[in-house]
Chain A
């Protein structure tokens, strides 16, 4: 049927067009809430759009022209991966596509020989390897509950996935802090204030390149919050509330906990999140295979 084959394409297109707006609003609300927590007035909610608009008005200096290629690839594959997710594709493939896009950002930072950029790139890689096992376990957990890796099946499943995957969910929230670049895990680059390595991974990007990176981040926010939706997909209202609460928690943690060193980040992500995830999945496996086959 035409509409059935067209449906994934339709959702992908909606994502491509709407996600930057949604993501930018999320970023704006983030800054506003952060400011209020700090007793300030804060910028207008549309500020991220002004920021990106300004960045595209500047000239585009580079250290090497290959940086243009890497940033463009980062953005394109980020959009590709997110579109794949929202069109109902295979969750594992989505994860690998995201890793691909992040590697391009890292390569873009490596392309210049600034020490800040270099250390930022190394730390960004550490962040990537910190969260990757957990999100693979998340995808596997989704499969174990719904018997499918495809987002379209998971989203339409009537089963309350969160009841089966509480440990995985908490583990996901821990690595979400890493992915959203929130303190205590914002060691590679951060959206506010000074860094001990200047701007880390984004140090040597300027103007439109920086704007593209920012837009890619917006696409990413929408995807990351979409994964939270999957846990609560059986009841959209609860899902929205869960997303709001989770994001608020992230902002709260960002403003209260100081940045940690990479060892603690890696250990937290791998040991705690991994243990929660593996134990949860192990229990699930036992219940499904042994108790109720």
Chain B
């Protein structure tokens, strides 16, 4: 089987599945199509890995003219559609931006496109394979989970229109667009798929059709369109610089040397920043949490926002050593620190996950912006580990929300008694985000070791040190909340569907496995990729890898020690409440003899780490930084 066939398969199979899902009415057929396509896509992704991992960069030409025409046609239809919706909901910013983008696109088609010819439209290399695995395995798992989730969701929210056909259709169109994005070599094609993901995100955020959802969806759309305009500007710049179209070949652009590539690189990285919701554009991602959980898991943590950082990491070799690259890295670094601080003050579980996602994306961009060879290695590691752990957490939170009816962390107290298996999986997911020896700590460790030799690395190390302390705080207090053993509460877990469990088990297993096999991943995929670009590659020393694995084994063995502590072998007593008389579980006799409930609440420190203050600070700081980058860029052009 040719690798090109695999690529086309991965782009087209989800598309076909989407078309079926848009029309099918029966829930059971829908579930079947989702599961079959998920398995198919997953298998094809794995086959791609097996066949393609040692082949280096492969370029393919596909008939570009008819495809480009179709793309332009679709883009125009979508522009009209957005214009219509913008007018209907009276969103002037959206209208302006879509008119601007469409205008640029039309002008481009009219004047420049005719002469352009890009020979190789598709390509695949190790980084694309990694992204494809994330989309193909984690993405499809989330879609399978979504089937069960949406059924419960609509049972709970009977007032919402049941548009599940559109929902699942959009999910699979999105998957197709993501595959297209990571396999495209032609920047015009990248832009097309980029815009498709923007539209999917817009429509999915607004799924609930409430006023809040609609407003947030337009916020996301506007910010992403702004990025799209920058992307379009980059394409026009490149087309003007080389009318034959050679510079629109991504692979060629990246290897051709810095001078000509810097301006479009910065513009496209700006688009990446808006898509990855770094400051000052983070409000759209936080607002997007109103969408159903599978949307948050798929688009807004594992995949779409990864497209933003994917493109920035691709351009890292161009940015490395430049002032603009440093500025982009600073935007990422300050986002990491500030978003981590803001997560401390949030008690809405999905908002905590959103801020954590924004923070980690900021860290990836900080690594990519400085762009040395070992930082590139770290950035890719971060992408993998974060996608796995964060999707698990989102899905668990979704399950918990469906069962207990609340997203508030304060309502998740004692979850280990009410939903033991989910609580343990959440525990592993959270551990995966901040505890040694799991992936994120490996990445942060490698990041510190890499920044220490990079120019201006001290600033980033300081941001990393303070930001990662903040992450320890908010993850630990959430962890503590769910493992608190509050007795005699009803176990609600038995009502959770089996399919959801299988997805969650697989993801939990992945969190552990990905950590165990990371030396293998590194040597097979990441190091050759970095070597290819920089001529040298990074690796953690042998001894440290062994120690990491030792720690992981110790951690896994610990729960088995529980077997030595048999139930009933030890006296069990009440927690110390100062001797106060207890009246049944979780109640005590307060003063005046009144029975009071025991309520334990975490610290949120609204005054110090509140959203308003920090977000204002972050927006101004990062906005200012981007302005400086823009001015520098003008200097280069003029």
Contact = CB atoms under 8 A, between A and B. Distances in A.
Direct interface between A and B, CB < 8 A: yes
Interface of A: 59-66, 68-69, 72-73, 76-77, 80, 84, 89-90, 92-93, 96-97, 99-100, 103, 106-107, 109-118, 121-122, 125-126, 128-130, 132-133, 136-137, 140, 143-144, 149, 198, 203-204, 263, 270, 274, 278, 281-282, 285
B485 A63 contact: yes
A113 B600 contact: yes
B573 A64 contact: no
B361 interface: no
Given A198-B578, A270-B466, A132 B571 contact: no
A281 B479 CA distance: 34
Interface string B471-501: 0110011011101111000000000000000
A248 to B, nearest CB: 29
Interface size class of B (residues with CB under 8 A): 35 or more
Nearest to B462: A278
Contacts of A278: 458, 462
B586 interface: yes
Contacts of B565: 65, 68-69
Contacts of B465: 132-133, 136-137
A128 B452 contact: no
11 contacts: A68-B570, A69-B565, A99-B436, A103-B435, A112-B484, A113-B485, A116-B576, A118-B480, A132-B468, A140-B448, A144-B452
A59 B571 contact: yes
A117 B483 CA distance: 14
Contacts of B571: 59-62
A114 B577 contact: yes
A137 B462 contact: yes
B594 interface: no
B507 to A, nearest CB: 22
B466 A96 contact: no
B449 interface: yes
B561 A129 contact: no
B544 A103 contact: no
A202 to B, nearest CB: 11
A278 B75 CA distance: 50
Given A113-B575, A125-B477, A274-B466, A66 B448 contact: no
Interface string B554-574: 110011011001010011111
B448 A125 contact: no
Contacts of B602: 122
A110 B547 contact: no
A76 B554 contact: yes
A263 to B, nearest CB: 8
A282 B541 CA distance: 28
A129 B576 contact: no
A144 to B, nearest CB: 7
B148 to A, nearest CB: 29
A84 B551 CA distance: 11
A130 B558 CA distance: 28
Nearest to B417: A64
B176 interface: no
Given A68-B565, A72-B558, A125-B473, A115 B577 contact: yes
Contacts of A114: 575-577
Nearest to A284: B458
A67 B332 CA distance: 39
Given A69-B558, A117-B575, A149 B449 contact: yes
A107 B452 contact: no
A146 to B, nearest CB: 12
A143 to B, nearest CB: 6
A133 B469 contact: yes
Interface in B32-90: none
Contact of A203 (B485, B567, B576, B598): B576
A285 B598 CA distance: 53
Contacts of B485: 63-64, 66, 111-113
A113 B586 contact: yes
A111 B484 contact: yes
B543 interface: yes
A204 B437 CA distance: 28
Nearest to B344: A129
Nearest to A266: B608
Contact of A103 (B458, B476, B548, B562): B476
Contacts of B435: 99-100, 103
A68 B564 CA distance: 10
Given A111-B485, A137-B462, A140-B448, A93 B570 contact: no
A219 to B, nearest CB: 16
A14 B541 CA distance: 25
Contacts of A116: 576, 578
A17 to B, nearest CB: 19
A129 B472 contact: yes
7 closest A-B pairs by CB: A110-B480, A114-B575, A129-B469, A133-B465, A96-B436, A64-B485, A61-B571
B505 interface: no
Interface in B402-431: 414
B576 A107 contact: no
Contact of B458 (A65, A69, A285): A285
Given A73-B555, A126-B603, 15 more contacts: A61-B570, A84-B547, A93-B436, A93-B544, A93-B548, A100-B551, A110-B483, A111-B485, A113-B598, A114-B575, A128-B476, A132-B469, A136-B461, A263-B608, A278-B462
Contacts of A107: 476, 479-480, 483
A106 B476 CA distance: 8
Interface string B593-616: 000001010110000100000000
B191 interface: no
B575 A133 contact: no
A64 B465 CA distance: 34
Contacts of A61: 570-573
B572 A62 contact: yes
Contact of A89 (B437, B468, B469, B547): B547
B445 interface: yes
B483 A274 contact: no
Contacts of A100: 435-437, 551
Given A77-B554, A96-B441, A125 B567 contact: no
A201 to B, nearest CB: 11
Contacts of B575: 63, 112-114, 117, 203-204
Contacts of B547: 84, 89-90, 93
Contact of B476 (A69, A89, A125): A125
Contacts of B476: 103, 106-107, 125, 128
